[in-house]
Structure 1
Amino acid sequence: MAEMQEVNFAPDYSVPPGEILEEYLESASMTQAELAQRTGLAAKTVNQIIQGKASLTQDTALRLESVLGRPAHFWNQLEAEHQEYLARARATEREREQLEWLKRFPINKMQELGWISTQKDRRAQLHALLQFFGVHSSCQWAKVWEHHQVAYRQSQRFKAEAEAVSAWLRRGELQGHARDCTDYDATAFRNLLKDLRGLTRESPEVFQAQIQERCASAGVAVEFVPSLPGTRVSGATRWLTPTKALIQLSLRYRSDDQLWFSFFHEAGHVLLHGKRAVFIEGGNGLDEHKEDEANRFAADILIPPREWQSFVASGQPTLAQVRDFAEQLGVAPGIVVGRLQHESIVGWEWGNGLKQRFQWDHE
């Protein structure tokens, strides 16, 4: 005889116990009020069970067994099957909603960068994305990442991109947590920033490792994270723990003057502003006063005010003068060009040949 194979049966419908109970009452010519009187249940409770607004408890099942003659396990089984059906329906709806939520992320790019495992099945992609964020569902994602999206709620232009921004921030967070750092020391961090200016003259192969190592010695994790489509973020600053700050940089802007200004700008936030604040450069809704403070901090660290005023006192310099001035300061000439352009002393096309251009390894 052929061996019987087990078949999993998951019906797409369920009959609420209340409907069966109502049929029994009709066949017994018994009203709800009479059933309530015979069982000792409140009339309202009987009505709610029949309407499907209340569950049929085990105690109620025992009472129905005495009055209607069907064993308690019959009623308990009806209730259990109905609750399982409702739970599956809710799970299916949640999955449908989460698969729609999945579409709002640049999954292909995240897979390409190795941030999540490469999967073709959408449910597997959803699972990988939730693991990446360390949350159970899209609802938990919203609660965890809500405060990081404040800067983007002010603009319709950024509204649909909050998911990509959160993924970029999460990647930086994971890298930052993995980096060994000493406890934060504000004095040590401020002092080393002046020395880091010299790294602006180096290639990424040299400066990236050095800036990360030296900042880690002062309690600041510096992470370079490629931007995702739609993020439009150049940098971010936040505190991972009370003793560990995170500076996260993208290569949204690919020239050395912009990258280094972004770094020192974020360093200004670390030194000047509170540990509870989150700064995401590139969106709306930022504190203009604190942004101005961070901008001034970065400008003055890269090129001290007295030296700058002396350099521009005679008007537009020559390219040779820019090179000499940068050499005296110990910074890359592209940084001087960028400052001249920003202050409209020269045009935006002037001197760009002195800037270094960067590119991510994966590109």
Structure 2
Amino acid sequence: MPINDSISTMHKNTIQRNYEPDYAVPPGATLLETIDSLGIDQRELAERTGLSAKTLNLIIHGKAPLTQQTAMLLERVTSVPARMWNNLEANYQEQLARLQARRDLAEQIEWLKTIPTKVLIDRGFIQPSRDKVVLLEQILNFFRVAHVDAWKEGWGRGQFAFRKSEQASAVDGRLATWLQIAELQAEQMDVETYDKTNLLAAVQRARSLTRQSPQVFLCKLASLFQASGVAFCTVPEIPGAKISGAAKWLSPTKAMIAVNRRGKKSDLFWFTLFHEVGHILNDSKKEAYVDVTYSDDPRERFANDFARTTLIPAKHDGRLASLKTEKLIREFADEIEVDPGIVVGRLQYEKLVRFDQFNHLKTTFEWAG
């Protein structure tokens, strides 16, 4: 079964429940039926159990709990096992809690507008429902938080190290959804114990794949990173989530790198991939942070420099200014064995050529699935 399908199935199994009534039945209702069948009224039951008539009346109407001690007394009088009375009380209290939780969630429905609910439904992470509270419960389950305030607190702190487009704002529902899908996907991947030396070797082998199509290089990349202790995945774009990629430590021995399928140009994909590798190589396993824009943060500088020099080694920097024609760009790309679009992207970034020049040399990816 494909990873995405297994993730969706996991969530469907988690969120599907039997019909739950919008009311709670106290164990006292069963108690009344039981004593009626025995020909005992409430006054006589109070005498036989030693409970006051007031206490018994409160229990029957669900205004006082049916304690374990009371359950033992009822067992002696009615021959109904104490565990049944205890179970009835536990079920009653649970249903009361669910009803209160539903009322609490109903006050937070407005937050749903910030989440791409349709995307989650279309991709099988939640089930469609006309009941907004049911949708909200499913989405909280998807994010693994108990309530909206917990979501705001967690995502507000920033749980990922990632490089965003400059136009993107702070972490919002669309971005958080993309990141959560990435993490769920990565969690399903079995990888070897992380090894920095193996990862550095994998980077060099990955660089040799820049001239191939996604249909060829994606499986090879996954295998290379798997052997290094890194779960690598690509996640389809969520409209409005202007993120290029993400990096995170899932455990002390397992890292995650995710790349957005938003960009279809080779230079963006490969720079993002190696940028995230730079985060894994350099950043603390315990530290979580969010990069809202390109900045002078030393961690960002390291990740950018790592991606830049991996794709075009620094020893070639002095030659870049001379690459003014398509022929020279292609010859240089052949020499250093990378896709010519990567060279064009670097030249454009360095303002050595205009952003409208040589774009036809950039490979356009067609993502499957």
Match of 1:44 in 2: none
Measured against aligned partners, the alpha-carbon deviations of 1:28-57 in whole angstroms (never above 9, x if no partner) come to xxxxxxxxxxxxxxxxxxxxxxxxxxxxxx
1:74 to partner: Cα distance: 3.8
* C-alpha deviation, 1:302, in angstroms: 0.5
**Alpha-carbon spacing, 1:275–1:205, altered in 2? closer, same or farther (3 Å):** same
State the match for 2:302 in structure 1. 293
- Alpha-carbon shift at residue 77 of structure 1 (Å): 5.9
Alpha-carbon distance in structure 1 between the residues aligned to 2:253 and 2:220: 21
Matches within 5 A, 1:127-276: 127-148=137-158, 158-159=169-170, 162-276=172-286
Alignment counterpart, residue 71 of structure 1, candidates 28, 50, 54:
54
Kept in 2, the 8 Å contact 1:151–1:284? The answer is: no
Moved more, 97-106 or 289-298: 97-106
Equivalent position SS for 2:210: helix
Deviation of 1:205 after TM superposition, in Å, equals 0.2
Structure 2 CA distance for partners of 1:121 and 1:79, relative to 1, 3 Å: closer
The one-letter code matched in structure 2 to 1:71 is K
Residue in 2 that maps onto 1:19: none
- Spell out, residue by residue over 1:257-314, the C-alpha distance to the aligned partner (whole angstroms, 9 max, x if none): 0110000011011111211233545x249772211111111110100111232x225x
Match of 1:328 in 2: 335
Rounded Cα–Cα distance in structure 2 between residues aligned with 1:78 and 1:219: 58
Amino acid paired to 1:332: D
Q: CA deviation at 1:92?
A: 4.0
Deviation at 1:94, TM superposition (A): 1.2
Partner of 1:58: none
Secondary structure at the counterpart of residue 243 of structure 2: coil
Contact 1:222 1:248 in 2 (8 A): yes
Which position in structure 1 is the counterpart of 2:358?
A: 351
Change (3 A) 1:77 1:221: same
Structure 2 matches for 1:33-182, cutoff 5 A? Answer: 71-74=54-57, 80=63, 90-148=100-158, 158-159=169-170, 162-182=172-192
What displacement does 1:75 show? Answer: 5.1
Q: Which amino acid aligns with 1:158?
A: S
8 Å contact from structure 1 (residues 172, 225) kept in 2: yes
Structure 2 letter corresponding to 1:97: E
User: Retained in 2: the 8 A contact 1:238–1:276?
Assistant: no
Q: Return the index of the structure with the highest Cα Rg.
A: 1
Equivalent of 1:339, from 337, 340, 346? 346
Which amino acid in the other structure matches residue 294 of structure 1?
Answer: A
1:136 and 1:351 map into 2 onto residues whose CA distance is 51
Q: Which ranges in structure 1 are unaligned for 5 or more consecutive residues?
A: 1-7, 12-61
1:312 aligns with 2:295: no
The answer to whether the 8 Å contact 1:237/1:280 transfers is no
CA distance in structure 2 between the partners assigned to 1:217 and 1:150 by the alignment = 23
Q: How many residues align?
A: 294
| Cα distance in 2, alignment partners of residues 324 and 157 from structure 1 | 36
Query: For the Cα contact (< 8 Å) 1:235–1:280, is it kept in 2?
Result: no
Shift of the alpha carbon at 1:135? 3.4
Aligned partners of 2:105 and 2:136 also within 8 Å: no
1:322/1:337 contact within 8 Å kept? yes
Q: Are the counterparts in 2 of residues 236 and 280 from structure 1 also a CA contact under 8 Å?
A: no
CA contact (8 A) 1:145 1:166 kept: yes
**What's the offset of the Cα at 1:90?**
3.7
Higher relative contact order (CA 8 A, sep 6+): 2
Q: Percent identity?
A: 34
The one-letter code sitting in structure 1 at the alignment partner of 2:54 is P
SS at match of 1:158: coil
Evaluate the alpha carbon distance shift between residue 284 and residue 319 of structure 1 in structure 2; reply closer, same or farther with a 3 A threshold. Answer: closer
Conserved in 1, the CA contact under 8 Å of 2:323 and 2:329? no
What amino acid maps onto 1:162 in structure 2? D
- Note the residue ranges of structure 2 that are not aligned, 5 or more in a row: 1-20, 25-49, 66-91
2:56, 2:124 → 1: CA distance? Answer: 53
CA RMSD of aligned residues (A): 3.3
How big is the shift at 1:118? 4.1
CA displacement at 1:194 relative to structure 2? 1.4
**CA offset at residue 116 of structure 1?**
3.0
1:88/1:112 CA distance change after superposition, 3 Å = closer
On the 8 A contact 2:161/2:248 being kept in 1, the answer is: no
- The code of the aligned residue for 1:289 comes to P
